[in-house]
Amino acid sequence: MADGITAGPVVFNEYNVTGGSRYVPAANAAHKYRGKTWVGHRVAYLRSWGSPATNVFNLSVNLEANKSYVFRGVSAWHNNETNPTFTYSVNTAKANLGTTLGTQSVAYTVKQQGEDYGFEFTPTTTATHYLTVSSSAINDAMCGVDYLAIYPKVQTFTAVDRTDASEIEVYPTVNHGSFNVVSDKGTIRVFDVAGRLVAAKVASSTKEAISLPSTGVYFVEVNSNNVTKIFKVISVK
């Protein structure tokens, strides 16, 4: 969960037990994602799906009213049953018995292959909501949850363009962890896709080097001579 969002406690069983939700060490994950070995930990074996609805896995999340959020997840069909469909939802009640605010289903054909989930939603009340995981299989389809994240939707920036704004330059926009800002001094702020400030600097020269904390997409806000421009940069390996 992203900063500012709290999730309820979840109790996981030992890795080698025969049922329930299990937390699996990275060394035992054995999942693929986009053709490569999944290198993180995962939660595995969310078992016994379908009817009754109480077999849905529920993770409680505290969310604010009228605030837009983004859900992102990666899951894999780990074992058992045949080509199950796993569904992620955000609901106002456990087991999807309330109002569904967002949902996505993925039909699986390959075991232990991570699949992407993602949707946006906006709660109407400030309250505890539930991120749910369910399956089309009534019996023993095993879902391996590799990644879950809920975060506020990225802040929308409004750039103020003027004739002298062309003096501001950011390069390279696709980089390996750092980029340069060329301006007539001023302030530089960098935000991640969740709208969090990850870097800030008061430019003391006309060219400043900025480092990024990790790979991903970032928005660079440069203010110089009362002119503000927004640039998108992407850090890759």
Average pLDDT over residues 178-193: 89
What are the residue boundaries of the structural domains of the chain, listed by start? 6-152, 163-235
The residue with tokens 């330059």 is 169
Topology given in CATH for the domain delimited by 6-152: Jelly Rolls (2.60.120)
The residues near 156 (Cβ < 8 Å, ≥ 6 apart) are: none
Fold matches, 6-152 and 163-235? no
d(CA 51, CA 164): 64
CATH code reported for the domain at 163-235? 2.60.40.3080
Neighbours of 168 (CB within 10 A): 21
Question: Do you find a cis peptide bond into 172, omega within 30 degrees of 0?
Answer: yes
* pLDDT tens digits along 65-109: 998 899 988 888 888 888 989 999 999 998 899 999 999 999 999
**Residue 81: per-residue pLDDT:** 84
For residue 6, pLDDT beyond 80: no
Question: For residues 216 and 192, is the Cβ–Cβ distance under 8 A?
Answer: yes
Q: Which residues are CB-contacts of 28 (< 8 A; sequence separation ≥ 6)?
A: 15
Report the pLDDT value the prediction gives residue 2, as an integer from 0 to 100: 35
Contacts of 101 (CB under 8 A, 6+ apart): 89, 90, 91, 92, 121, 122, 123, 129
115-164 pLDDT, tens digit each: 999 999 999 999 999 998 888 887 778 888 888 888 887 655 554 444 34
- In which order are the strands placed within the sheet that holds 69-79? 22-24, 42-44, 142-152, 69-79, 115-121
Encoded tokens for 225: 């001579």
pLDDT at 185: 79
Q: Which SS3 state, helix, strand or coil, does residue 94 take?
A: helix
- For 10-61, the pLDDT digits (tens) are 556 666 666 666 666 656 667 888 888 877 666 655 665 556 666 788 888 9
pTM: 0.60
The per-residue pLDDT for 22 is 66
**From residue 132, how far is each of 3, 10, 173, 220 by CA, in Å?**
20, 13, 37, 35
